[in-house]
Amino acid sequence: MEDGVLKEGFLVKRGHIVHNWKVRWFILQQNTLLYYKLEGGRKVTPPKGQILLDGCTITCPCLEYENRPFLIKLKTRTATEYFLEACSREERDAWAFEITGAIHAGQPGKVQQLHLLKNSFKLPPHLSLHRIVDKMHDSGSGIRPCLNMEQGSTYKKTFIGSSLVDWLISNSFAANRLEAVTLASVLMEENFLRPVGARSTGAIRSGDLAEQFLDDSTALYTFAESYKKKTSPKEEISLSTMELSGTVVKQGYLAKQGHKRKNWKVRRFVLRKDPAFLHYYDPSKDENRPVGGFSLRGSLVSALEDNGVPTGVKGNVQGNLFKVITKDDTHYYIQASTKAERAEWIEAIKKVT
């Protein structure tokens, strides 16, 4: 990237004094991570703050906030802690990889190690599966099963596959994601864990042990002794279960113009297919429930002009904009971070409509 920029994009940052969560635009450079406030879909200069990476330590995955599974923690040389949340596991790991590379930029050996993955895994002889499961059940530091939904049904006392992978790495039972997936597959094979729902159940038919457990935020698992399925009563969920039952095909942070006040706010967008819906979430809130969404059936999506402010867009917001017009003629104005990201979203939406 140009001008020494290694990576840039939206992350949600925890405040230092008041521990609220706000979206900031982050720019990673060789020695510094800068973050900017946003107004009207644009970053406000100068930067709101900076994180000096020299002597920094990084924790990823960071499991200190139960409702925020895609966290990175940075601790500076002066012991200041920063908590940063990405929109997905893949995006979190991409940020962690680049930040780790920037921290160790002056140590080529460590940078090279980042590119090496262990392609084989054997359970260490001293490691007991019973000990792992006992720690998973620990009320303070273990896995916390909760209510999750898949294919229109809710399942009590379940957890998602990627959360267990994060937990196994965080507790030093595995060195990387491949090892953690293999270890989780062994726990399933030994009847400590059970798959729940179509996604995870279908994967156990794979012949490769490392592919039987899904490192996925839509695959559900439970402890074998607590398996129980329950169809959700309609009164428990205000949103239609049909809306949220589709397969997630894309997610990310985008800016959206409000319908009433016409102000611009960053939301985490989730695109689903079968059925095709686009939901958006408030990343400053802890609850993982959409604040809005709409069916894409019969909708139209198109890029807007990059020169000047397009018709329908309020404020001095321009560049990387696109519009979705729903079947009932509601217009949604959305802004991506780059032209490439806009093109990816438009293509993904067109595919499901």
Per-residue model confidence (pLDDT) at position 37: 87
What is the average pLDDT across 219-225?
A: 87
Check whether 205 has a pLDDT greater than 70: no
**Do strands 292-295 and 277-281 pair parallel, antiparallel, or not at all (unpaired)?**
antiparallel
Mean predicted lDDT score pLDDT of the chain: 83
Check whether 231 has a pLDDT greater than 50: no
Cα–Cα nearest to 81, from 89, 72, 90: 72
Q: Provide the greatest CA pair distance for the chain.
A: 66
CA distance 222 to 136: 11
**Contact predicate 274/246, CB 8 Å:** yes
Q: How confident is the model at residue 211 (pLDDT cuts 50, 70, 90)?
A: low
- Residue-wise pLDDT for 68-95, tens only, equals 888 999 999 999 999 999 998 889 989 9
Q: How confident is the model at residue 218 (pLDDT cuts 50, 70, 90)?
A: confident
Q: For residue 133, give the 3-state DSSP assignment.
A: helix
Per-residue model confidence (pLDDT) at position 165: 93
CA distance 68 to 85: 7
Q: How confident is the model at residue 236 (pLDDT cuts 50, 70, 90)?
A: very low
Tokens of 184: 């989780």
Cα–Cα nearest to 314, from 255, 268, 270, 267: 255
322 has which bridge partners? Answer: 303, 334
Which span out of 84-88, 104-108, 209-213, 262-266 was modeled with the highest average pLDDT?
Answer: 84-88
Check whether 227 has a pLDDT greater than 50: no
**Domains in the chain and their CATH numbers?**
5-118 (2.30.29.30), 129-227 (1.10.10.10), 247-351 (2.30.29.30)
CA distance 65 to 285: 12
CA distance 256 to 305: 16
**Contact predicate 177/165, CB 8 Å:** yes
Among 18-27, 30-39, 304-313, the minimum mean pLDDT is found in 304-313
Report the percentage of the chain scoring pLDDT > 70.
Answer: 85
Instruction: Return the higher-pLDDT residue of 207 and 54.
Output: 54
Tokens of 165: 């992978």
Question: Dihedral sign, CA of 134, 136, 140, 141?
Answer: positive
Instruction: Return the higher-pLDDT residue of 18 and 297.
Output: 297
Q: How confident is the model at residue 342 (pLDDT cuts 50, 70, 90)?
A: very high
Per-residue model confidence (pLDDT) at position 263: 86
